[in-house]
């Protein structure tokens, strides 16, 4: 009896202690994350130093103390809004781009660059300084009035290249392989598992894709630096920017100076003396100010629904698209009488064909009641294009990766490995096809035929959606499909998108279709707070972001390979997904 009483007392004491520790922990986190009010001083310079990964939309709730437990990210929406607010802010005299590595896609970088170009129309200055410039960093910096580089810095400017990894030999050596069925001669998401080298079709589409993106980058740099496009390509071919002095001589830079000298240039641009204090406000701090300032107002609303990440069957969240959270957002926007139009912001390489179709259907229902416009981000391919195809109007950036209208299935098989290590699997079933597939046995011809039938059916359904949404024949849709990817500029010429432009252009088009002049925006979906995610994940390493821990331990390059293989292994059902994992350098 004493033993039970002591045991219960120990358990109760442990629970009480745990509760006290937990609430002390919450209190401590709250103190750590307490933010003082930000004041924008007169004659300030807004410094763009983007330290974290940039996503279209974070949905972060201001003042959430548990944000410090999760990997930080910056929302493209908030960055663009901050730049717009700064344009009208009399206390902001200019912008300093002091960013050595931007963790964003090319289209996101282009969107920021466009916002900076608009900022310059106010007459305020933009300067850029770097200890080194990678190509995307320089592309962003090239919009500045003046560009500076550290004398012992470096510059990477050589044109775009793409890298695709192949795994056939690895499969042969390990006995672990992927059984694949696909439709589309360009549908090469599974090509790395079928071959040791790139097919001519894949080489052609990648070459034309990165060529189109590079042409856009070159045209914009040439215009802002007053260098001909031909000379820009000569500089890239001869590595004319490999040394700071070469880059200056070629016209890519205005000067080669140290940061303290750069600070003096900023003071001159602001109009203060060398001995005066230079007021620098970080983008992170200014965002806290700008998010409180609404540039659009009105009782009528334009709903922006963010669909970002790969498409998986399920609820979804900030990093992947599921029918649960997206369809709830669509229904809320549809049923809200103050919402007059919907803009779907798509940034996805695709994924589950079933989930894509479920989302497509909900969008079709909403479109019957309110105008629907799609804005494509860095990538809106395969399943990302599937959910976009039915919109009243589609906008893409010239550098957006889109298209990839095709379907495939990939199923892991370890028969050879199992045989080599002495494992034999035997199946017993009640009917002829009750045992349809085993990880430990080769895929039968009958099962492969069944999968092929499903792939073909899904592909025809996909073509039908594109044909109906884009008002073209099935034959025309098929000629643009076959898994082929296109840049936004190419897609505009082919009729897969309607206009080239960013999210703001799509919002204006939606308002025009809805016939509203004065409006504000409402963003969806509403993600769970960091505290809610903390409680859901409590007790596991995910509260400390286990993916980030893995990345730091094994390095970015190997982590990318790990994510690629992991993504393929997690795929369920037929996939409408970007036809390859592409690293553009």
Which has more pLDDT, 230 or 30? 230
Q: How many percent of the chain have pLDDT more than 90? A: 57
Tokens 């390859």 found at = 580
If asked whether residues 403 and 254 sit together in one domain, one would say no
* Over residues 444-472, mean pLDDT: 90
Q: Tell me which residue of 233, 201, 202, 217 sits closest to 582, measured CA to CA.
A: 202
pLDDT digits (tens, 9 = 90+) for 106-141: 999 999 999 999 999 999 999 999 999 999 999 999
Residues 147 and 65 in one domain: yes
Query: What are the phi and psi torsion angles at 349 (to 5°)?
Result: -85, 0
- The last residue of one of the domains, among 226, 260, 290, is 290
262 and 387 in a single domain? The answer is: no
Provide the token pair at 32: 């750590």
| 19 occurs within a structural domain | no
272 in the same domain as 123 = yes
Report the CATH number at residue 139: 3.90.226.10
- How far is residue 395's CA from residue 154's CA, in Å, rounded to a whole number? 36
Pair (350, 250) in one structural domain: no
Per the model's pLDDT, the better-predicted residue between 394 and 438 turns out to be 394
The tokens for 61 are 């709730």
Q: Is residue 48 part of a domain?
A: yes
Highest mean pLDDT among 345-359, 439-453, 532-546: 345-359
263 and 327 within one domain: no
Among all residues, which ones are annotated catalytic? 187, 382
User: At 19, is the pLDDT very low, low, confident or very high (cuts 50, 70, 90)?
Assistant: low
Query: CA-to-CA distance for 286 and 293, rounded, in angstroms?
Result: 11
Asked whether residue 555 is domain-assigned, the answer is no
Q: Is 550 a residue whose pLDDT tops 80?
A: no
Query: Same domain for 377 and 247?
Result: no
36: pLDDT strictly greater than 80: no
Residues 255 and 335 in one domain: no
Averaged pLDDT for residues 306-326: 93
- Asked whether residue 258 falls in the same domain as residue 356, the answer is no
Tokens linked to 80: 């663009």
pLDDT at 64 over 50: yes
User: Domain for residue 397, yes or no?
Assistant: yes
State how far the Cα of 122 lies from the Cα of 120, in Å rounded to an integer: 5
The whole domain housing 474 covers 300-527+573-584
Question: Is 209 a domain residue?
Answer: no
Domain final residue, candidates 290, 310, 325: 290
Q: Please tell me the pTM assigned to this model.
A: 0.85
Q: Which of 475, 477, 476 is nearest to 466 (CA)?
A: 477
User: What band does 194 get if pLDDT is binned at 50, 70 and 90?
Assistant: confident
Higher pLDDT, 286 or 296: 286
Residue-level pLDDT at 543: 39
For residue 41, pLDDT beyond 80: yes
- The dihedrals phi and psi of 171, each to the nearest 5 degrees, come to -65, -45
269 and 345, same domain (yes or no): no
Judge contact between 310 and 564, C-beta under 8 A: no
Query: How many domains does the chain fold into?
Result: 2
Residues 309 and 362 in one domain: yes
On whether both 387 and 484 belong to a single domain, the answer is: yes
Helix (H, G, I), strand (E, B) or coil at 90: coil
Average pLDDT, whole number, for the chain?
A: 85
Question: Residue 205 domain-assigned?
Answer: no
């Amino acid at each position: 009896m004493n033993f039970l009483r002591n045991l219960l007392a120990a358990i109760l004491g442990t629970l009480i202690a745990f509760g006290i520790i937990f609430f002390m922990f919450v209190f401590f986190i709250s103190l750590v994350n307490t933010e003082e009010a930000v004041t924008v001083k007169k004659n300030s310079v807004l410094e763009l130093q983007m330290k974290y990964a940039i996503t279209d939309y974070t949905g972060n709730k201001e003042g959430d103390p548990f944000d410090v437990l999760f990997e930080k990210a910056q929302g493209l929406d908030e960055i663009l809004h901050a730049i717009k607010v700064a344009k009208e802010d009399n206390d902001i005299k200019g912008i300093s781009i002091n960013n050595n590595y931007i963790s964003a896609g090319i289209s996101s970088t282009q969107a920021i660059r466009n916002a900076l170009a608009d900022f310059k129309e106010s007459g305020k200055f933009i300067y850029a300084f770097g200890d080194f410039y990678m190509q995307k960093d320089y592309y962003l910096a090239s919009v500045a009035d003046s560009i500076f580089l550290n004398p012992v810095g470096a510059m990477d400017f050589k044109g775009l290249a793409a890298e695709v990894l192949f795994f056939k030999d690895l499969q042969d050596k390990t006995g672990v392989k992927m059984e694949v069925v696909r439709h589309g001669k360009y549908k090469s998401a599974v090509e790395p598992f079928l071959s040791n080298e790139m097919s001519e079709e894949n080489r052609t589409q990648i070459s034309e894709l990165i060529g189109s993106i590079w042409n856009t980058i070159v045209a914009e740099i040439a215009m802002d630096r007053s260098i001909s496009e031909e000379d820009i390509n000569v500089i890239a071919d001869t590595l004319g920017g490999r040394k700071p002095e070469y880059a200056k001589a070629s016209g890519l830079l205005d000067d080669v100076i140290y940061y303290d000298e750069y600070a003096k240039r900023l003071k001159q641009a602001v109009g203060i003396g060398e001995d005066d204090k230079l007021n620098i406000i970080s983008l992170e701090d200014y965002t806290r100010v700008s998010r409180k300032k609404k540039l659009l107002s009105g009782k009528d609303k334009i709903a922006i629904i963010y669909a970002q990440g790969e498409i998986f069957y399920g609820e979804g969240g900030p990093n992947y698209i599921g029918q649960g959270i997206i369809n709830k957002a669509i229904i809320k926007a549809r049923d809200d009488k103050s919402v007059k139009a919907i803009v779907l912001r798509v940034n996805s390489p695709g994924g589950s064909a079933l989930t894509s179709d479920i989302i497509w259907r909900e969008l079709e229902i909403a479109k019957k009641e309110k105008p629907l416009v799609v804005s494509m981000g860095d990538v809106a391919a395969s399943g990302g294009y599937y959910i976009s195809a039915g919109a009243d109007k589609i906008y893409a950036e010239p550098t957006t990766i889109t298209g990839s209208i095709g379907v495939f299935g990939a199923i892991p098989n370890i028969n050879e490995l199992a045989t080599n290590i002495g494992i034999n699997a035997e199946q017993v079933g009640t009917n002829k096809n009750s045992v349809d597939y085993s990880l430990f046995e080769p895929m039968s011809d009958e099962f492969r035929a069944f999968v092929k039938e499903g792939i073909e059916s899904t592909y025809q359904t996909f073509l039908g959606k594109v044909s109906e949404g884009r008002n073209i024949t099935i034959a025309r849709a098929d000629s643009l499909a076959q898994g082929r990817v296109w840049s936004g500029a190419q897609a505009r010429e082919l009729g897969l998108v309607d206009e080239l432009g960013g999210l703001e252009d799509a919002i204006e088009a939606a308002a025009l279709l809805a016939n509203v002049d004065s409006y504000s925006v409402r963003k969806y979906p509403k993600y769970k707070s960091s505290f809610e995610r903390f409680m859901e994940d409590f007790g596991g390493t995910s509260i400390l972001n286990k993916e980030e821990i893995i990345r730091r331990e094994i390095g970015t390059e190997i982590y990318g390979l790990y994510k690629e293989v992991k993504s393929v292994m997690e795929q369920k059902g037929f996939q409408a997904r970007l036809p390859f994992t592409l690293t553009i350098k």
